[in-house]
Structure 1
Amino acid sequence: MKKSGLISVVAFIVSVIVTASSLFTASGDPFPGPVMIAICIILPIIGLLAALISNKGALKFIGFTGNLLILLLSVVVPAVSTLFWNQP
Protein backbone atom coordinates (compact mmCIF):
# COMPACT_ATOMS: atom_id res chain seq x y z
CA MET A 1 0.00 0.00 0.00
CA LYS A 2 2.96 2.29 0.50
CA LYS A 3 3.77 2.21 -3.21
CA SER A 4 0.29 3.38 -4.19
CA GLY A 5 0.92 6.78 -2.59
CA LEU A 6 4.05 7.15 -4.70
CA ILE A 7 2.15 6.05 -7.82
CA SER A 8 -0.46 8.69 -7.10
CA VAL A 9 2.13 11.46 -6.78
CA VAL A 10 3.93 10.36 -9.95
CA ALA A 11 0.62 10.38 -11.84
CA PHE A 12 -0.01 13.89 -10.55
CA ILE A 13 3.42 15.18 -11.58
CA VAL A 14 3.18 13.68 -15.08
CA SER A 15 -0.31 15.13 -15.52
CA VAL A 16 0.80 18.58 -14.35
CA ILE A 17 3.76 18.65 -16.72
CA VAL A 18 1.71 17.58 -19.75
CA THR A 19 -1.24 19.85 -18.91
CA ALA A 20 1.02 22.86 -18.34
CA SER A 21 2.89 22.23 -21.58
CA SER A 22 -0.43 21.97 -23.37
CA LEU A 23 -1.71 25.22 -21.91
CA PHE A 24 1.44 27.28 -22.40
CA THR A 25 2.63 26.21 -25.85
CA ALA A 26 1.65 28.30 -28.85
CA SER A 27 1.63 25.37 -31.27
CA GLY A 28 -1.18 23.49 -29.52
CA ASP A 29 -1.12 20.09 -27.88
CA PRO A 30 2.26 18.39 -27.63
CA PHE A 31 0.66 14.94 -28.13
CA PRO A 32 -2.15 13.64 -30.38
CA GLY A 33 -5.73 13.75 -29.06
CA PRO A 34 -6.13 10.23 -27.60
CA VAL A 35 -2.78 10.44 -25.84
CA MET A 36 -3.73 13.81 -24.30
CA ILE A 37 -7.03 12.35 -23.12
CA ALA A 38 -5.21 9.42 -21.53
CA ILE A 39 -2.68 11.65 -19.80
CA CYS A 40 -5.00 14.46 -18.71
CA ILE A 41 -8.05 12.43 -17.71
CA ILE A 42 -7.30 8.73 -17.24
CA LEU A 43 -3.95 9.16 -15.46
CA PRO A 44 -5.40 11.45 -12.72
CA ILE A 45 -8.27 8.99 -12.22
CA ILE A 46 -5.72 6.22 -11.70
CA GLY A 47 -3.85 8.55 -9.33
CA LEU A 48 -7.02 9.24 -7.35
CA LEU A 49 -7.75 5.55 -6.99
CA ALA A 50 -4.16 4.89 -5.93
CA ALA A 51 -4.39 7.70 -3.34
CA LEU A 52 -7.61 6.27 -1.95
CA ILE A 53 -6.04 2.87 -1.22
CA SER A 54 -2.73 4.24 0.09
CA ASN A 55 -1.80 4.71 3.73
CA LYS A 56 -2.35 8.00 5.52
CA GLY A 57 0.41 10.52 5.04
CA ALA A 58 1.78 13.29 2.90
CA LEU A 59 1.88 11.23 -0.30
CA LYS A 60 -1.80 10.40 0.02
CA PHE A 61 -2.71 14.04 0.58
CA ILE A 62 -0.55 15.37 -2.27
CA GLY A 63 -1.68 12.67 -4.68
CA PHE A 64 -5.37 13.00 -3.88
CA THR A 65 -5.50 16.81 -3.92
CA GLY A 66 -3.25 17.20 -6.94
CA ASN A 67 -5.06 14.67 -9.08
CA LEU A 68 -8.39 16.15 -8.05
CA LEU A 69 -7.22 19.62 -9.15
CA ILE A 70 -5.96 18.29 -12.48
CA LEU A 71 -9.32 16.62 -13.09
CA LEU A 72 -11.05 19.86 -12.17
CA LEU A 73 -8.98 21.81 -14.69
CA SER A 74 -9.07 19.29 -17.49
CA VAL A 75 -12.61 17.90 -17.20
CA VAL A 76 -14.97 19.98 -15.09
CA VAL A 77 -14.02 23.49 -16.25
CA PRO A 78 -14.21 22.66 -20.00
CA ALA A 79 -17.48 20.76 -19.50
CA VAL A 80 -19.10 23.63 -17.61
CA SER A 81 -17.77 26.22 -20.05
CA THR A 82 -19.39 24.40 -22.98
CA LEU A 83 -22.73 24.70 -21.22
CA PHE A 84 -22.47 28.48 -21.05
CA TRP A 85 -20.57 29.20 -24.27
CA ASN A 86 -23.17 29.27 -27.03
CA GLN A 87 -21.47 31.44 -29.67
CA PRO A 88 -17.96 31.46 -31.13
Structure 2
Amino acid sequence: MARPAPLPAPLPATVRPRTAAAPTPPAPAEPDPAVTITIGRVEIRAVPPAVRAPAPSEPDGALRSGTAAGAGTLSLGDFLRGTRDPR
Protein backbone atom coordinates (compact mmCIF):
# COMPACT_ATOMS: atom_id res chain seq x y z
CA MET A 1 0.00 0.00 0.00
CA ALA A 2 1.45 3.37 -1.04
CA ARG A 3 1.59 6.12 1.55
CA PRO A 4 1.14 9.77 0.52
CA ALA A 5 4.15 12.03 0.83
CA PRO A 6 4.16 14.14 3.99
CA LEU A 7 3.07 17.74 3.58
CA PRO A 8 5.65 20.47 4.14
CA ALA A 9 5.54 22.20 7.51
CA PRO A 10 3.50 25.42 7.47
CA LEU A 11 5.49 28.62 7.38
CA PRO A 12 5.25 30.83 10.46
CA ALA A 13 3.05 33.89 10.06
CA THR A 14 5.04 37.04 9.54
CA VAL A 15 4.00 40.31 11.08
CA ARG A 16 4.35 43.33 8.87
CA PRO A 17 4.99 46.67 10.55
CA ARG A 18 2.13 49.12 10.24
CA THR A 19 2.82 52.15 8.12
CA ALA A 20 1.06 55.50 8.21
CA ALA A 21 0.96 55.88 4.43
CA ALA A 22 -1.63 54.00 2.42
CA PRO A 23 -0.30 51.85 -0.40
CA THR A 24 -0.13 53.66 -3.71
CA PRO A 25 -2.48 52.38 -6.40
CA PRO A 26 -0.83 50.79 -9.42
CA ALA A 27 -0.34 52.89 -12.51
CA PRO A 28 -3.13 52.55 -15.10
CA ALA A 29 -2.26 49.75 -17.46
CA GLU A 30 -3.08 49.30 -21.10
CA PRO A 31 -6.75 48.43 -21.65
CA ASP A 32 -7.51 44.75 -21.93
CA PRO A 33 -8.10 43.41 -25.43
CA ALA A 34 -11.60 42.70 -26.63
CA VAL A 35 -13.13 39.41 -25.54
CA THR A 36 -15.36 37.35 -27.82
CA ILE A 37 -17.89 35.02 -26.19
CA THR A 38 -19.53 32.42 -28.43
CA ILE A 39 -22.82 30.82 -27.39
CA GLY A 40 -24.08 28.49 -30.08
CA ARG A 41 -24.09 30.56 -33.26
CA VAL A 42 -24.16 33.91 -31.46
CA GLU A 43 -20.93 35.81 -30.90
CA ILE A 44 -20.79 38.58 -28.31
CA ARG A 45 -17.79 40.89 -28.48
CA ALA A 46 -16.98 42.74 -25.27
CA VAL A 47 -14.71 45.74 -25.72
CA PRO A 48 -13.38 47.61 -22.68
CA PRO A 49 -14.55 51.22 -22.45
CA ALA A 50 -12.27 53.92 -23.77
CA VAL A 51 -10.56 56.09 -21.19
CA ARG A 52 -11.87 59.62 -21.52
CA ALA A 53 -10.81 62.82 -19.86
CA PRO A 54 -13.43 64.16 -17.44
CA ALA A 55 -15.74 66.77 -18.92
CA PRO A 56 -15.38 70.31 -17.61
CA SER A 57 -17.91 71.09 -14.92
CA GLU A 58 -20.64 73.60 -15.62
CA PRO A 59 -22.51 75.81 -13.17
CA ASP A 60 -25.72 74.32 -11.79
CA GLY A 61 -27.81 77.12 -13.28
CA ALA A 62 -26.74 76.18 -16.80
CA LEU A 63 -27.92 72.61 -16.30
CA ARG A 64 -31.35 73.68 -15.02
CA SER A 65 -31.94 76.26 -17.73
CA GLY A 66 -31.83 73.71 -20.55
CA THR A 67 -28.99 75.41 -22.40
CA ALA A 68 -26.28 72.98 -21.32
CA ALA A 69 -24.76 70.41 -23.65
CA GLY A 70 -26.58 67.53 -21.89
CA ALA A 71 -30.01 69.23 -21.93
CA GLY A 72 -31.44 66.88 -24.58
CA THR A 73 -30.92 63.67 -22.62
CA LEU A 74 -33.61 61.28 -21.41
CA SER A 75 -33.64 59.37 -18.16
CA LEU A 76 -33.66 55.59 -18.42
CA GLY A 77 -37.23 55.43 -17.16
CA ASP A 78 -38.44 57.99 -19.73
CA PHE A 79 -36.62 56.13 -22.48
CA LEU A 80 -38.19 52.80 -21.53
CA ARG A 81 -41.67 54.35 -21.25
CA GLY A 82 -41.27 56.03 -24.63
CA THR A 83 -41.55 59.57 -23.29
CA ARG A 84 -39.91 61.97 -25.72
CA ASP A 85 -39.72 64.99 -23.43
CA PRO A 86 -36.09 65.58 -22.45
CA ARG A 87 -35.42 66.61 -18.90
Compute the TM-score of the two structures, normalised by the length of structure 1.
0.19
Q: Which has the higher helix share?
A: 1
Larger radius of gyration: 2
Which has the larger share of strand? 2
